[in-house]
Amino acid sequence: MFELIGVPPQALFGQLLLGLINGSFYALLSLGLAVIFGLLNIINFAHGAQYMLGAFAAYLLLNNPFYSIGYWPALILAPVIVGGLGMLLERNLISQLNVRSKTRPLIFIASFVATFLALAASHLSGGAVPDLASLAGYKLDPAAAYGIAAIGALLFTSLLSATNMLKAPDADQNTDHLYGLLLTFGLAIIIQGLFVNQYGSSGLPYTIPDELKGGQNLGFMFLPIYRGWVIVASLAVCIATWLIIEKTKLGAYLRAATENPTLLSAFGVNVPRLVTFTYGFGVALAGLAGVLAAPIYSVNPNMGADLIIVVFAVVVIGGMGSILGAIVTGFMLGIVEGLTKVFYPEAASVVIFVIMAIVLLIKPAGLFGRTA
């Protein structure tokens, strides 16, 4: 308490506000994680990479040779793109984890490898199949060509699975979360590695949109307008998501799908599609957070990796899978962290984990978690 007196109340309010701003990122990210865990039972470790992809999508929409797309359209487009990639991922890899027959993953992997090799070979041979990139007059380095080949292969295999040749099995609750965790963790590392390779580690510039430049002197602190906008936007999205899941019919289906997928499909609901959609939505939330973060941090391949562990701690403290828990603890821990930076900055990077340890000891299901 003695140190509290040392800090003028004005500075304290300033730090509280900053905590709230950081908290809004934590809330948005942990909300996506909670939705995915609550409804799919998947610990989505790729969430940080998907947040990074959101920022990169915004950057690439703005700086591409074809048509420059600014911040506001990117705010809608980038989450859609990242969410779409997430749906492809769920359809082709994650859903394969809970398959009962052992053959389907093999078929999937075989067709993926075959398509990938075909596309890569066509690029490298530069002959048989005309290379789209070289037709357009762009020079592609091999890394980018392989990346495009991989995306092409993923698209192609998902087309196959859509036409029942590689039908995705029904989702069930038998999956051990460990497999999902390992798969998504591995993917996150691969994605980040590819981006570091392509874009370097020090990041790329993305400026604040003109409408939100400048700031407001609140008397106790200088509030950049953009940061204010981040709080408003993420609060709105958090509340909307909570309303959809708790108050709408769609939300009721989602919740039913977690309780008893077999019964729900007996009512004629397409549960696998619901699951894919939900994963895509959770990933889109990460993408949205990425676009919001792009003008504040430099667009950096490691931005998600640095954040994801903290966000996981937030989810664990709030209670795995609890939507409300994710939102409330997200904001709360942002504030706690902000205050730590004033009183004992060296501890700022560990304080959340200390809280996590304490909460787990006292209330193992988390603050808002339900014990099964």
Partner 1 sequence: MNIRTVFIAGAALLFAATAVHAQTPVKIGVLNDRSSLYADLGGEGSVVAAKLAVEDFKAADKGLKVDVIAADHQNKSDIAVNTAREWFDQQGVDLIVDTPNSGVALAVSEIVKEKNKVFINSGAASSDLTGAKCTPNTIHWTYDTWQLANGTGSAIVKQGGDKWFFITADYAFGHALERDTAKVVKDAGGTVLGSVKAPLNTQDFSSFLLQAQSSGAKIVGLANAGGDTINSIKQASEFGIVQGGQNLAGLLIFLTDIHSLGLKTAQGLIFTASFYWDLNDDTRAFADRFQKQTGRKPTMVQAGVYSGVLHYLKAVEALKSAKDGAAVVTQMKATPTDDPLFGKGEVRADGRKIHDSYLFEVKKPEESKGPWDYYKLLATTPKEKAFRPLSEGGCPLVASAAK
Q: Please report, as ranges, the residues that interact with partner 1 according to CB under 8 A.
A: 8, 10-11, 14-15, 18, 21-22, 193, 196, 200-205, 207-208, 214-215, 221-222, 224, 226-227, 296-298, 300, 302-303, 306-307, 338, 341-342, 345-346, 348-349
Least distance in angstroms from the C-beta of 10 to partner 1: 8
- Selection from 192, 234, 194, 228 nearest residue 211 by Cα: 228
Cα distance between residue 30 and residue 315, in whole Å: 6
Least distance in angstroms from the C-beta of 330 to partner 1: 14
C-beta separation of 154 from 112 below 8 A: yes
Q: What secondary structure does DSSP assign to 201-225, as a single string?
A: SS-B--PPPGGG-SEEE-SS-EEEH
Cβ nearer to partner 1, comparing 119 with 230? 230
Least distance in angstroms from the C-beta of 119 to partner 1: 24
Cβ nearer to partner 1, comparing 104 with 341? 341
Cβ nearer to partner 1, comparing 55 with 61? 55
Q: For residue 8, is it left (φ>0), alpha (ψ between -120 and 50) or beta?
A: beta
Least distance in angstroms from the C-beta of 116 to partner 1: 24
Least distance in angstroms from the C-beta of 114 to partner 1: 31
Least distance in angstroms from the C-beta of 303 to partner 1: 7
Q: CB-based contacts of 282: which residues, under 8 Å, 6+ apart?
A: 32, 33, 35, 36, 44, 47, 86
| 288: amino acid identity, one letter | L
Number of alpha carbons in the 13 Å side-chain half-sphere of residue 261: 16
Cβ nearer to partner 1, comparing 208 with 324? 208
Instruction: Retrieve residue 172's tokens.
Output: 């069930």
Cα distance between residue 322 and residue 258, in whole Å: 13
Residue positions counted in the chain: 372
Cβ nearer to partner 1, comparing 341 with 363? 341
Cβ nearer to partner 1, comparing 186 with 200? 200
C-beta separation of 323 from 34 below 8 A: yes
